[in-house]
Chain A
Amino acid sequence: MAVYEHTYKQYLGKLTPEWSRFLVIPRHAFRDVFKSKLFTAFFVICFLPLLVEAILIYLHHNVSALAILRVNVRELIPIDASFFQFWVNFQAWPAYFVMLLVGPPLVSRDLRNNALPLYLCRPFSRTEYVLGKMSVLLILLSAITWAPQLLLFLFQSYLEGATWFIENLHLASAIFISSVVWILLLALLSQAVSALVKWRVIASAGLLGIFFIPWVFGEVVNQMFLTRWGSIISLGALMRNVTSGLFGTFVQASAQITQFDGRVGREVVVNEMPLWAAWLALFVVCAICLALLSRKVKAYEVVR
């Protein structure tokens, strides 16, 4: 089939390993995603908080810089579990917005244009398709969450010394696990919603709704029934609890509410839902997303 020959010719060259073929999807998707200058600019901005975090770590170990800035080291936030937890939670927001921008069209565009048969008529399974589409988000979000956070952890370890590194190794695993759980959740949710609604704008709206409507509803339930179990439907609250658990900062009795019974005021201690419940709820959400993807990602849908 050479251009000059204009005849049909078979391909007899080398083939890529089967396991690596799902990576073709993110490679081509990144080209499309970074075509938008606006998105590229936003993605660069996502690294700014990490730069601030790096500066804070650096300042803790640079006496001359502190002297120039006339700042006492005690006035700076301590570099401990809470410090890293704060930045992990902070970076969850840029990750969420990147997911909102990139996630919705990934599957919906293929479904709308009947492209799935073109993927699946090749030696390429549905699992590989979902994995490929998810890895677009997983790679992008990893670049702004756990990967730089771990580098900053190593930076802190380098400045502080080996003892600090060994004593705080659990922080590295907490950074990694909490970020991965969050980006996996985002990737699965965006793929499931994208597969379900087909239209980008509606998918984006759906993803906004999934995070904010249950949060509002959960808070209403919490206030009405003086409980924290309402947060079980709020993905943000679930992630907050899971992250606290991983960093070892989780406190079961977290809220004190003053309740007025007639004219008498009394304090009620409201317990956070247990950690296992938060993990279980996240697991259920992921399972539902996978079930939806398994139902929708098919070469052809049989109309019965």
Chain B
Amino acid sequence: MELSETIQKQASLPDPANFAPVIDLNGLSVTFGGRPILQNLQGELRGRAIGLLGPNGAGKTTLIHTLLGFHLPSSGTAHIFGQDIITDAKQIRSFVGYMPERDSYIAKMSAVHFVRLMAELSGLPPEAALERAHEALFYVGLGEARYRSLDTYSLGMKQLAKLAQAIVHGPSLIFLDEPTNGLDPPARQRMIRLVREIRDSGKANIVLSSHLLRDVEECCEEILILKDGRLAVYCNLEEERKSNRKFLLLEIRGDQDKFAEGLGALGCEYAITGDHRVKVVLQGGTEVRDLYHLASQFEVQIRRLSYKRDSLEDIFLKAMENGHGGL
């Protein structure tokens, strides 16, 4: 009780950087039958919403399961809000919520009965559990269907019921494993909106695992890209956004090399990305009009000019091409 209160206080404080990280990975490795699934994961994650990205089989779900204590690490460990996942697994489970990837429910039960049971298993007294079950189902948008049997639910409704059971006990950290799987666009939008609302409430941190870049980009501040069980890239999207590191993408006709030299003379960072394409980061007092002057000087036509920034897709694709990174 005291522990959960402490964690709840920590999670709702504005600057979590002063406290224990949400997840602290200390050389975490997991092996199944001699086959390495996760290899020496290191790093501290402090974001309100942490995205786990990676192709199928990269180890995202295994990482979540290991953090929940379903699998024992073969070496290393991890801490959630300072609690060790090996020695304090039960305590950790008292302040986390988990929405599994696969269809998971208890058959022949109404949604409200199911969510209430889950709340009671988390330690809520029966009356409070029933009240919270109703509230959680209304919150996720299943208020009208809460007395229907889960067996009759559509896939989208089952996903929402899974979310309701994950948040019914008011956890400080919520693991969402592929929450938008199998959802149609409106249902997906609804799920994303709910995740963002929970994130913005500041009452809970979220770990969202997905192979859909858009979902992660829309919800998360920090991302962890896994590749073959290793940490391929760590990226703080929030900082990337704040740094506003935009670049200009120019499509030009004319002497590309001379124009590039001119850009260098202006003090701009540049990169020739293909035939007639140049990426430019404006530096100091350089403005767009200076580029037009330069183009005029070297008799180069600027056919197109647009502001761009590295998208998550670019980061992800780079991670898949390159080796391994770290925090």
Contacts and interface: CB of A to CB of B under 8 A. Distances in A.
Interface of A: 1-3, 6-16, 18, 21, 24, 28, 31-32, 109-110, 112-115, 117-125, 298-300, 302, 304
Given A28-B113, A119-B121, A10 B70 contact: no
Contacts of A24: 117, 120-121
B106 interface: yes
Contacts of A32: 108-109
Given A12-B8, A117-B70, 9 more contacts: A7-B197, A8-B203, A24-B121, A31-B113, A113-B104, A115-B104, A115-B105, A118-B118, A122-B121
B117 A28 contact: yes
B87 interface: no
B93 A9 contact: no
Contact of A120 (B8, B70, B102, B103): B70
Interface in B198-240: 198, 201, 203-204
A38 to B, nearest CB: 16
Nearest to B127: A13
Interface residues of B, number: 56
Q: Which residue, of A15, A121, A125, A302, has the highest number of chain B Cβ atoms within 10 A?
A: A121
A12 B9 CA distance: 11
Given A8-B167, A10-B204, A121 B93 contact: yes
Contacts of A21: 120-121, 123
A11 B1 CA distance: 11
B57 to A, nearest CB: 12
Contact of A118 (B113, B165, B169, B175): B165
B128 A122 contact: no
Contacts of B172: 10
B153 to A, nearest CB: 12
A118 B102 CA distance: 11
Given A1-B132, A8-B201, A115 B170 contact: no
A21 B122 CA distance: 8
21 contacts: A3-B134, A6-B138, A8-B197, A8-B201, A10-B171, A11-B170, A14-B125, A21-B123, A110-B106, A113-B105, A117-B98, A118-B104, A118-B105, A119-B121, A121-B68, A121-B97, A122-B122, A123-B90, A123-B91, A123-B94, A299-B68
B247 interface: no
Chain A contact residues: over half helix, strand or loop, or mixed?
Answer: loop
Contacts, number: 135
A32 to B, nearest CB: 7
A13 B8 contact: no
Nearest to A29: B117
B132 A11 contact: yes
Contacts of A112: 107
8 closest A-B pairs (Cβ-Cβ)? A304-B33, A11-B170, A10-B170, A15-B123, A121-B98, A299-B70, A114-B104, A123-B94
B32 A7 contact: no
A122 B104 CA distance: 14
Nearest to A17: B123
Nearest to B108: A32
Given A16-B125, A117-B98, A1 B108 contact: no
B123 A304 contact: no
Contacts of A109: 106-108
A35 to B, nearest CB: 9
Interface in B13-51: 32-33, 35
A109 B150 CA distance: 13
B167 A302 contact: no
Contact of A9 (B5, B32, B170): B170
B214 to A, nearest CB: 23
Contacts of B138: 3, 6
B118 A122 contact: yes
B251 interface: no
B327 to A, nearest CB: 26
A299 B72 CA distance: 12
Contacts of B113: 28, 31
B139 A11 contact: no
Contact of B103 (A7, A113, A122, A300): A113
B197 to A, nearest CB: 6
B136 interface: yes
Interface in B55-87: 65, 68, 70-71
Contact of A8 (B90, B120, B198): B198
A301 to B, nearest CB: 10
Contacts of B203: 8-10
B156 interface: no
A9 B131 CA distance: 13
Nearest to B8: A10
B100 interface: yes
Contacts of B128: 11, 13-14
A273 B280 CA distance: 92
B96 interface: yes
Contacts of B91: 123
Contact of B96 (A115, A121, A298): A121
Nearest to B37: A302
Given A7-B197, A122-B121, A304 B100 contact: no
Contacts of A15: 1, 123-125
